[in-house]
Structure 1
Amino acid sequence: MNTTVSRLRRTLPAGLIAAAVVFPVSAAASPDVPAPKPAPFTATATPHTRYAANLDNIAVAARMAQGAGRTGRAAKLRAMAAGAGGGGFLAFDGRGKGRAVEVLGDLESADRVTVLVPGSDTTLDSYQRFRAGAVALEQRLQAEHPNSAVVAWLGYDTPGTVSTTVLTTSRADEAAAQLGPFLSDMEALSRPDTRISLLCHSYGSVVCARTRTGPKVTDLVLYGSPGTGADSAAALPTRAQVWSGRGSRDWIGRVPHVRLGGVGFGTDPVDRAFGARSFNAGDAGHSDYLKPGTASLDSLARIVLGPPPTAVPLPGNATTPATMPEVRHA
């Protein structure tokens, strides 16, 4: 047992370090980045009220960062504010690594709402990369179903790709305590007939797997996942249909899917034994699932637009995804 744990501790960081070389990320901002406190809201505040207040907050945070010599952060905040069209920010906190929750589309009229949960090293300094995926998904959805909206939920402090935190569920447990109430807010803000899909990438899949969801969350999708900390889809605190997929070029498939001594995340979500429905992720690399024109983006859009297609189960622990049939839209 001790030999196995020791091997796991050596192998996981090595794989993550290699991945960090292949997929470089922006350096996380240090906690001393100055910014105003988040704008306060009452329970009855409308999305547009929140959008306006948070846009003002972003502008103030940009000026404060510029004044403190944090020119890189200031430029990124100005880019965030400039890109907030057709929706806005439901939440924003510019302090430290930062948090932001942005809506793309008309949340109040949408009957298909997708919440994207990112993985490690997603901060305000790397936000545009995360947002680019949300934009690509929203454009893909709008092409077939105008009554759709995508929410980019950077509502937690993501772990570093090369860190001990990324190997455990502790940060995910903290994030799940934030994501659960947020999804309840989404249910209250949306139309009675709205379906909410939860799309969870990499470490974000660990977060989603530990989040209790309500009746409007109909699909929970795990992609680029290192595991969830659970043995099966049936063990997750949700009644949603659980999906899993992995691109053939995703390095995370080489991470050992074990959980020992609180390290690692256990059963591989694309393993048939996990019990999730599979989707076609094509040849996606770890950062490619939401890139325009990919099989993975097309599959994720089909799941969101539903009704859910019949899935073809993956054999054993295969990493080659199954093919999804076309979807008839409601």
Structure 2
Amino acid sequence: MRPGTTAWWRRRVNRWRRTALAALICGAVVGPLSGAARPEVPAPPPPALAAPTAATLADTYAANRANAAEASRMAATHGDRDRAAADRSLADPSRRLLAFDGRGSGLATEVFGDLPHADRVAVLVPGSDTSLDTYGRFRAAALALHRRLAAQAPEDTRTAVVAWLGYETPGTVSTTVATTGRADRAAPKLRALADTLRGITGPDARVALLCHSYGSVVCARAAGGLDVADIVLVGSPGTGADSVAGLRTDVRVWAARGADDWVAHVPHLSAGLFGTTVGFGTDPVAPDFGARVFTAGDGGHSDYFDPGSVSLTNLARIVLGETTEVTR
């Protein structure tokens, strides 16, 4: 291969990228295990609500919208116009907020569709750098999936999507993104969401977790005992487990990675340190991991939910239980 050719430069860039990512993991070993906190944005605490049911869901939505409206007013008074706008959008009467917390980087759980009557429910679990300040892009992914499901579902199948920003995600450029610490703290919250959904949906509703990037680490840590039909890992750096067996679950586990996803170059290392795990071990799309690997097309790390993409079509097929139609 001659220096200066396109292939030569591509190989050099990939080598530099792998080196940088390896350095990030090494930095997590020798550096602090917590990232810098976001400047505090004043907001009210979440409303004290009983676990929602199908009968009380409308009241839950209304209470969380009211909380978001108050958070918007407080953020505006504080001078944070961007957060005030984000909170104000979530307070719109059309929004269905299963949960909301405007404090710090912020948390929100939003529902798309008629959750109590849904036969198939998809829960989106986001990766790094997702907060109320960047919530719009996460919501766009949930909306794209909701529309794809509506277009692809059989006439007698009702669907819903839950966008779960239910944990403090790590920053992409931080030591926390290379450890399981945030995921370990998030896992009980994801299990609680699954229990909440069972209290709202019908007994025959089937739930699929769609876990992107660092969100796949969260899903892996929560997997044992989760009452779901499928766990789907896309753009995953690893799960902290060596194989599907290590997830301690009997549900179907899927994995995919786009051809242009930079996460392919993340070193698959794993080491225990100070009660947490640095690095995430076996590549989920590797044969040794044991997941059902499916096609995600040519997209990059942020493209899995792009309208019209191969990955979105396959994700919808998994949610709908059309597993024989998934391209692998």
Structure 2: which 5+ runs fail to align? 1-17, 28-35
Task: Note the aligned Cα RMSD (angstroms).
Answer: 2.2
Query: Which residue in 1 is equivalent to 2:30?
Result: none
SS at the partner of 2:233?
strand
Query: Is 1:141 aligned with 2:152?
Result: no
Query: Which residue in 2 is equivalent to 1:69?
Result: 79
Kept in 1, the 8 Å contact 2:285–2:291? The answer is yes
CA 1:107/1:151 → structure 2, altered by over 3 Å: closer, same or farther?
A: same
Structure-2 separation of matches of 1:156 and 1:217: 19
Query: Which residue in 2 is equivalent to 1:54?
Result: 64
SS at the partner of 2:211?
strand
SS at the partner of 2:147?
helix
Kept in 1, the 8 Å contact 2:52–2:199? The answer is no
Kept in 2, the 8 Å contact 1:16–1:162? The answer is no
Query: Which residue in 1 is equivalent to 2:22?
Result: 12
Q: Kindly provide the CA deviation profile for residues 103-149 of structure 1, in whole angstroms up to 9, marking residues without a partner as x.
A: 00010000100100000010000000000000000000011336100
TM-score, normalising length from structure 2? 0.84
Alignment match of 1:102 (pick from 105, 110, 132): 110
CA 1:163/1:29 → structure 2, altered by over 3 Å: closer, same or farther?
A: closer
Query: Which residue in 1 is equivalent to 2:219?
Result: 208
Alignment match of 1:169 (pick from 180, 184, 190): 180
CA 1:9/1:189 → structure 2, altered by over 3 Å: closer, same or farther?
A: farther
Greater Cα shift, 115-124 or 255-264: 255-264
Structure-2 separation of matches of 1:12 and 1:272: 23
Query: Is 1:197 aligned with 2:208?
Result: yes
Query: Is 1:227 aligned with 2:235?
Result: no
CA 1:177/1:195 → structure 2, altered by over 3 Å: closer, same or farther?
A: same
CA 1:50/1:13 → structure 2, altered by over 3 Å: closer, same or farther?
A: farther
Query: Which residue in 2 is equivalent to 1:35?
Result: 43
Residue 306 of structure 1 and its aligned partner are, at CA, apart by: 1.2
Kept in 2, the 8 Å contact 1:303–1:309? The answer is no
Structure-1 separation of matches of 2:325 and 2:313: 15
Larger relative contact order (Cα-Cα within 8 Å, sequence gap ≥ 6): 2
Structure-2 separation of matches of 1:90 and 1:101: 5
Query: Which residue in 2 is equivalent to 1:284?
Result: 299
Structure-2 separation of matches of 1:11 and 1:245: 20
Kept in 2, the 8 Å contact 1:218–1:239? The answer is no
Query: Which residue in 2 is equivalent to 1:20?
Result: none
Structure 1: which 5+ runs fail to align? 1-7, 18-27, 312-322, 325-330
Residue 199 of structure 1 and its aligned partner are, at CA, apart by: 0.4
Q: What count of residue pairs does the alignment treat as equivalent?
A: 294
Kept in 2, the 8 Å contact 1:105–1:149? The answer is yes
